[in-house]
């Protein structure tokens, strides 16, 4: 079904049209929007909205609209809010000055220019310019959702468009929305393109973490997987590199912080990839079976604090053996062991939940597979957040849980001698 806002071909026009429609349909939302932008109450009297045209002009087509502001909000007594919106392109200072001059020639005496962009780069000019990012508008719309169904519709359309823009490679820098949780459940089933959008937003936020930089040596400037080109599947994942990773070296030689959004859960793990440098793996193996158990036990204790308040989340270890018939073929999984970390430690040691039965042989199997590695073997440790049980995965708090989960794995990086891990 065609979306109610889906009327234009140009990307920026689609966004502006959605906003203009929502504001035109809900006068209360419009007045609160003006206050949000200007910091002052909206002017008294009737407020008009036009898009892709100047006040008083006939409606113009998209091909005729070059140089015209994307939208005007104005009154009949000389007040105007002029909107210029951008997604991938940068705002041009000459363009803003032309908009200001046009508004002045039209008789407006109290003029504010509003720029809506996907990033922070907005030129400074000598006139009242209010700069807002699409992410800020999105958060504002979410706050207004309780009062206005049109705010809900506009915010939802921003999510749809962002998925499209990411998929076709148009939005490669910045964002239009912000992470507010993973909403998948029985009523809103998993969607791959939406999962890709949410993963991108989550990693944008997690790259800002000072704790991850200080404690683990996370490199906020390093890229992860780059373009994720798939359009369907049951999982999408990406990772953050550590400063220890060599410049230009494959990420499979170093541990990395992985976040995955799967069909029934999200997982946050530190991955020990199959191609990890022998020196890192050997340091862990040289701890011996008991030393390895003590290391994982210390991490498990940290998970208790990291996952506190989310009884549906569970600490986990994943061991996978894969092979690839060719460079372009999908992996064949020859073996996979995944277990709740609490199975490894008895209750009397204070490291077990009453709902998890002790079976330390799973941890034994992990150590022996790692110490006798003879295949494309990957080991990961972290936590799972099932959509059906986790109380935080559907909220913005989930980012804090992911951060805390990765931080709890710090002793593993220390044991491997990863420089920058504290």
Asked if pLDDT for residue 149 goes beyond 60, the answer is yes
| Beta bridge mates, 7 | none
DSSP, collapsed to helix, strand or coil, labels residue 318 as: strand
Stretch 283-290: mean pLDDT: 96
**129/302 Cα distance (integer angstroms):** 48
Q: Give the span between the Cα atoms of 326 and 419, in whole angstroms.
A: 34
Range with the poorest average pLDDT among 139-148, 181-190, 326-335, 386-395: 326-335
Do 34 and 81 contact (CB within 8 A), yes or no? yes
Residue 131 makes CB contacts below 8 A (sequence gap 6+) with 114, 115, 117, 122
Q: What share of the chain is helix, strand, coil (3-state, %, to 5)?
A: 40, 20, 45
CATH 3.30.930, the chain: domain bounds:
181-416
**pLDDT tens digits for range 197-247:** 999 999 999 999 999 999 999 999 888 886 666 667 889 999 999 998 877
Tell me 242's DSSP state: B
pLDDT at 351: 46
CATH architecture of 181-416: 2-Layer Sandwich (3.30)
Q: List CB contacts of 356: < 8 A, sequence separation 6 or more.
A: 340, 342, 343
This prediction has a pTM of: 0.81
Q: Is the model more confident about 201 or about 167?
A: 201
Average pLDDT across the chain, whole number = 87
Average pLDDT over residues 268-280: 94
**Residue 350: predicted pLDDT:** 47
pLDDT confidence band for 392 (50 / 70 / 90): very high
Digit-coded pLDDT (tens) for 375-391: 999 999 999 999 999 99
- Interval 313-329 mean pLDDT: 89
Contact of 388 with 376, CB cutoff 8 Å: no
Q: What confidence tens digit (pLDDT) does each residue in 292-308 have?
A: 999 999 999 999 999 99
């Amino acid at each position: 079904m065609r979306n109610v806002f889906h009327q234009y071909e140009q990307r920026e026009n689609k966004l502006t049209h959605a906003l203009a429609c929502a504001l035109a349909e809900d006068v209360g939302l419009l007045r609160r929007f003006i206050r949000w932008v200007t910091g002052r109450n909206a002017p008294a009297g009737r407020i008009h909205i036009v898009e892709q045209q100047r006040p008083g002009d006939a409606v113009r087509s998209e091909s005729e609209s070059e140089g015209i502001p994307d939208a005007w909000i104005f009154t009949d007594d000389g007040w105007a809010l002029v909107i210029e919106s951008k997604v991938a392109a940068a705002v041009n200072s000459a363009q803003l000055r032309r908009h200001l001059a046009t508004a002045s020639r039209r008789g407006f005496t109290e003029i504010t220019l509003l720029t809506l962009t996907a990033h922070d780069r907005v030129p400074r000019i000598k006139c009242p310019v209010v700069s807002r990012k699409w992410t800020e508008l999105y958060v504002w719309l979410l706050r207004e959702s309780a009062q206005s169904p049109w705010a809900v519709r506009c915010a939802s359309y921003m999510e749809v468009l962002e998925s499209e823009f990411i998929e076709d490679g148009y939005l490669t820098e910045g964002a239009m929305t912000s992470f507010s949780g993973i909403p998948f459940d029985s009523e809103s089933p998993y969607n791959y393109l939406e999962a890709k959008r949410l993963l991108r937003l989550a990693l944008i936020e997690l790259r800002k973490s000072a704790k991850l930089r200080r404690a683990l040596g996370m490199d906020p400037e390093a890229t992860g997987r780059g373009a994720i080109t798939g359009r369907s599947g049951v999982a999408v994942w990406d990772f953050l590199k550590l400063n220890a990773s060599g410049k230009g070296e494959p990420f499979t030689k170093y541990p990395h912080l992985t976040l995955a959004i799967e069909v029934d859960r999200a997982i946050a793990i530190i991955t020990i990839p199959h191609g990890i440098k022998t020196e890192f793996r050997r340091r862990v193996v040289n701890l011996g079976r008991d030393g390895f158990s003590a290391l994982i036990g210390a991490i498990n204790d940290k998970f208790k604090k990291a996952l506190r308040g989310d009884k549906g989340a569970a600490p986990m270890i994943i061991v996978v053996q894969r092979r690839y018939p060719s460079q372009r073929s999908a992996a064949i999984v020859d073996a996979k062991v995944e277990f709740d970390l609490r199975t490894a430690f008895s209750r009397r040691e204070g490291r077990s939940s009453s709902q998890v039965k002790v079976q330390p042989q799973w941890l034994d199997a992990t150590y022996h597979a790692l110490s006798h590695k003879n295949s494309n073997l990957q080991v990961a440790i972290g936590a799972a957040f099932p959509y059906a049980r986790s109380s935080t995965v559907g909220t913005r708090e989930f980012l804090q849980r992911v951060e805390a989960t990765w931080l709890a794995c710090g002793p593993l990086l220390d044991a491997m001698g990863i420089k920058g891990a504290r």
